[in-house]
Amino acid sequence: MRNRHKFTFIFCCIVADFLAMIIGTLVFLSFSKDDAVDWNVFLLNNMILVAILTWLLPILYFRLYRLDTLFSLDAFYRNSWRALLVQRILWQCYIFIFQGTSQYTLGISANLFQLSFLLFYFLVSRVFFTVLLVQMKKWVKMPFNVAIWGFNSTSIELAAKLETNNYFINFLGIINDNTDVVYQNKKAFSFALSDAIHRASAANVQELYIVSEPKFIIDLNYYFELADNYCMRLKFVPDFSMISKVPFSSSNFNNFHVIKPRNEPLQDAYNRLTKRIFDIIFSLLVVLFVMSWLYPILALIIKRQSKGPVLFKQLRTGKKNESFWCYKFRSMQVNSLSDSHQAQKKDARITPIGQFIRRTSIDELPQFFNVLRGDMSVVGPRPHMLKHTKDYNDQINNFMVRHFVKPGITGLAQVSGLRGETKKVSDMKRRVNADIDYLQNWNLIKDVKICFLTVIVTLKGDENAF
């Protein structure tokens, strides 16, 4: 019964969303007739197909219509808006490529009408889907009962997860009779667990999570076979709360259960490829459309104001603690302290043009060449001088974690107000925490968002930029 309702809900979502994309395209075509646009015949003939394909790609990437047992409404909302944003970008790129700049501009009104329709649809549909989910649970006559046995910090966290995402299950809670019981030995634990499986079956529990310390388990196969006799699914969740107070990540490698201190999305080869493609495309656009004309202008001004090279290069710490030459527009007089002393407010070493390019972060633009070389990424932890890496590594325990990924031109710490001079170790700790948060929760949308926020922060002005 659980699967039938789940499949019905997901199927309705898929059909409704694809119909909305098709209707949105028809809205675009309807209003585009009123615009004096010389539409490309190929573009017109394939618009509906392109609308479907540009929606199909992001929903597959974000796994929007997941059939997991635990359906997360928050993830569904979040991925819906992410998929819509990517679909709109792909759609606009398609029109721009086939129409050109002038004709594309004339069709803006049709694009706005289409966007308005899709925004209205997604707002209304997601509210409707939420109501539908709540009602569907009331229609289920034979609910899929899920429970937990074992009372500890891990089982409490699991219970909260199941309770929050219980749209297609009936979560009965933690079924221990006595939460204060302490098992003296493995035999006592085995007897209590066997009795719990029997009583759970009598209560029509179809899926039972056993949360316990691994030291109490004698033979997993015995409990699995016992649950099989009752036609019950048994799932063991090891409780490591006694040996680790910090959350960790776990995965399976063949038949081995692997425990890691943190989740790292960029350990996945496909994610690294996606990030690298984004880095190359973004960097090439900046080099072609910005650096091509800005470089010679700044080079002339920098050379006139002070002696020395146009570009300043410095060894900095990169991925895997390997050093690389990081490039910047030179903003200071040539000096012997550049490899050991951070820039400070009203630093006498900074030239007049240097003050401007540092305040506007223009001095960082040559680092897009570092990105193309593969030393850096557009978004990531900012690279530090070798001396600072050594100094802070001696004072901050997890400082080197930020070097598990390529350093970036901008990063989560920078758009969170944590850029500039670090006068205290606590300032660097906050920056490191932001870098680790980025490493653990990376996705392409986060990179795009950080790039956008970087532009906003730069235009508004950052008091820490000097």
Query: Could you identify the residue written with the tokens 């409490």?
Result: 156
Q: Where are the beta strands (DSSP E) in 29-169?
A: 145-149
Give the residue ranges of the chain where pLDDT is below 50.
1, 466
pLDDT, position 287: 95
CA dist 197 and 232 (Å) reads 9
Q: How many CB atoms lie within 10 A of CB 67?
A: 12
Sign of the alpha-carbon torsion through 91, 96, 99, 102: positive
Number of residues that make up the chain: 466
What would the two tokens of residue 292 be?
A: 């091509």
Residue 412 to residues 422, 423, 433, 435, 462: CA-CA distances in angstroms? Answer: 16, 20, 10, 7, 15
CA dist 315 and 326 (Å) reads 6
Q: Widest CA span of the chain, in angstroms?
A: 87
pLDDT, position 466: 46
Residue range 145-245 in CATH 3.40.30.10: no
- Domain residue spans of the chain: 2-139, 145-245, 269-460
The predicted-structure confidence for 38-92, as pLDDT tens digits, reads as follows: 666 777 778 889 899 999 999 998 888 887 667 788 888 889 999 999 999 898 8
Sign of the alpha-carbon torsion through 189, 195, 199, 200: positive
pLDDT, position 1: 45
Residues 6+ apart with CB under 8 A from 452: none
What would the two tokens of residue 384 be?
A: 């530090």
Rounded to two decimals, the pTM is 0.70
CA dist 132 and 181 (Å) reads 42
Residue 239, SS3? coil
Q: At what angle do helices 73-106 and 108-139 cross, to 10 degrees?
A: 160
Residue 315, SS3? strand
Nearest to 462 by CA among 385, 380, 358, 384: 358
